[in-house]
Amino acid sequence: MDRDALDARAHIPIVEMPKVVPIVDHRTVRPDRSARPIDLPTTATPVAGRLDTLGRGLHDLRISVTDRCNFRCTYCMPKEVFDRNHSFLPHRDLLTFEEIERVARTFVSLGVEKIRLTGGEPLLRKDLEVLVEKLAAIERPGDAHERIDLTLTTNGSLLRKKAAALKRAGLRRVTVSLDALDDAAFRAMNDVDFPVAAVLDGIDAAAEAGLGPVKVNMVVKRGTNDDQILPMVERFRHTGHILRLIEFMDVGTTNGWRLDDVVASGEVIRRIHARYPLDPLDANYPGEVAERWRFRDGGGEIGVISSVTHAFCGSCTRARLSPEGSLYTCLFAGRGHDLRALLRSAATDADVELAVSTIWGRRADRYSELRSAPHATATPRVEMSYIGG
């Protein structure tokens, strides 16, 4: 593939992006997790398949089961913010497994087909496989008795211990976050001196348990780990695992994001293509976030996620549930909607459905498309470690 075709396929922006994107650095500010109370409309009925104001359906739900993590990745939970004095959510504030199952059933009845468990580090939530079993049993509406696609994103540190039980409980696949192959670089990035070998072993354990193909998510930050792109590619070629390289995003307010830190997906693809020629692949389904490429020599496939240089808000069908039951309709939203209060009130399942359907029907989020608009303003937003990526 020639350079022009490669650039066009990889969505390399033709116009230079502005170098200044408004962002608040709240490293010393405690997060505002207050959620909006939900006012139920009195006359409406819930609408399965309802579209939001931009015509997007509700197909995916990400459920964060804990705000805790055993890593302190510098771009996600930097130590200077998430230190000994940081107050994580007390257990009583977390949704119970029964409450999560009830919310999940509501979303599935409204059209959700995929549920991803996230955190924090979801495997830190005690007995997570019990929740997995409850969710895996949920059937989609219709006579086909189809089950939902249930997956999980993890840092991999506990996978060796948990993979087999998760598979038995009904989990289908896992995605493992791994930002470097070099042990010293990885230990520096996770900032708790965790060895890369243990994560690689966790990936093996997931594959052995049948949780494949394992996707390996690498957030690429210029000057920090972009020298790890080729070693990561080499490590995961011919393994059946799918490496996905993600542009460093301005999620949350604590990671000190600057546009200069972003390595555009186009550049990532060019660097890999120069060593291991690539050809583009079609998306697996409409709205797939990752752009897929295959190694011309049969070494498997990789993906790039161009969250900054090629916003995909137009096909964003994801809702997010926080550990204590706030519903967010965008990864960059400042506040969620307080579903927990509804769940712990006398509300019926129909009330919960109506609430979700109404919130979705009013949704107009498209932060990534607006990020670099001329008059974009900095807004408070939820932390990735709390809501999942």
Select from 368, 381, 382, 385 the one that contacts ligand SF4 (CB under 6 A). Answer: 368
Spatial CA neighbour of 310 closest among 373, 267, 368: 368
* 52 and 364 Cβ atoms separated by less than 8 Å: yes
313 near ligand SF4, rule: CB under 6 A: yes
Residues 6+ apart with CB under 8 A from 297: 276, 277
Closer CB to ligand SF4, 58 or 128, in the complex: 58
For the chain, give the number of residues. 389
262 binds ligand SF4 (CB under 6 A): no
Considering beta carbons, is residue 169 or 327 the nearer one to ligand SF4?
A: 327
Q: Which residues pair with 62 in a beta bridge?
A: 116, 320
Q: Which of 204, 132, 117 is nearest to 167 (CA)?
A: 132
Which alpha helices (H) appear in 290-331, and where do they start and end? Answer: none
Number of H helices, E strands in the chain: 12, 12
Using the CB atoms, write b or e for 144-175: b if 16+ within 10 Å: eeebbebbbbbbbbbbbebbbbbbebbbbbbb
Residue 377 DSSP one-character state: -
Piece of 239-247, 261-269, 311-319, 337-345 that binds ligand SF4 (CB under 6 A): 311-319
In whole angstroms, the minimum distance from the beta carbon of 6 to ligand SF4 comes to: 24
**Contact present, 100 and 131 (Cβ < 8 Å):** yes
In angstroms, give the least distance from the CB of 316 to ligand SF4.
Answer: 3
Bridge partners (DSSP) of residue 220 are 247
Verify binding: residue 327, ligand SF4, rule CB under 6 A: no
* Contacts for 55 with CB less than 8 Å, ≥ 6 apart: none
Distance CA 251, CA 371 (A): 11
Q: How far is the CB of 61 from ligand SF4 (least distance, A)?
A: 13
- Is residue 217 within a helix (H) or strand (E), and if so which, with residue range? strand 215-220
The stretch among 25-33, 228-236, 341-349, 366-374 that binds ligand SF4 (CB under 6 A) is 366-374
Indicate whether 61 belongs to the interface with ligand SF4 (CB under 6 A): no
- Among 181, 268, 270, 276, CA closest to 222: 268
**Total chain residues near ligand SF4 (CB under 6 A):** 10
Q: Whose Cβ is closer to ligand SF4: residue 34's or residue 379's?
A: 379
Closest CB to ligand SF4 among 242 and 249? 249
Window contacting ligand SF4 (CB under 6 A); options: 36-44, 61-69, 127-135, 308-316: 308-316
326, 332, 334, 340 alpha-carbon torsion, rounded to 10°: 0
User: Which of 365, 381, 383, 388 is the binder for ligand SF4 (CB under 6 A)?
Assistant: 365
Does 316 interact with ligand SF4 (rule: CB under 6 A)? yes
Among positions 274-293, residues that touch ligand SF4 (CB under 6 A) are none
Q: Residues 6 or more apart from 61 whose CB is under 8 A from it?
A: 104, 107, 112, 114, 115, 116, 318, 319, 320, 321
In this chain, which stretch among 15-23, 35-43, 231-239, 361-369 interacts with ligand SF4, using CB under 6 A? 361-369
Identify which range of 3-11, 94-102, 293-301, 325-333 contacts ligand SF4 by CB under 6 A. Answer: 325-333
From the list 65-73, 157-165, 218-226, 312-320, the region that binds ligand SF4 by CB under 6 A is 312-320
Of 150-189, which residues contact ligand SF4 (CB under 6 A)? none
When the beta carbons of 102 and 366 are compared against ligand SF4, the nearer one is: 366
Which residues in the 331-360 window bind ligand SF4 by CB under 6 A? Answer: 331-332
Among 182, 335, 366, 380, binds ligand SF4 (CB under 6 A): 366
Shortest Cβ 93–ligand SF4 spacing (Å): 24
List interacting residues with ligand SF4 (CB under 6 A).
312-313, 316, 330-332, 365-368
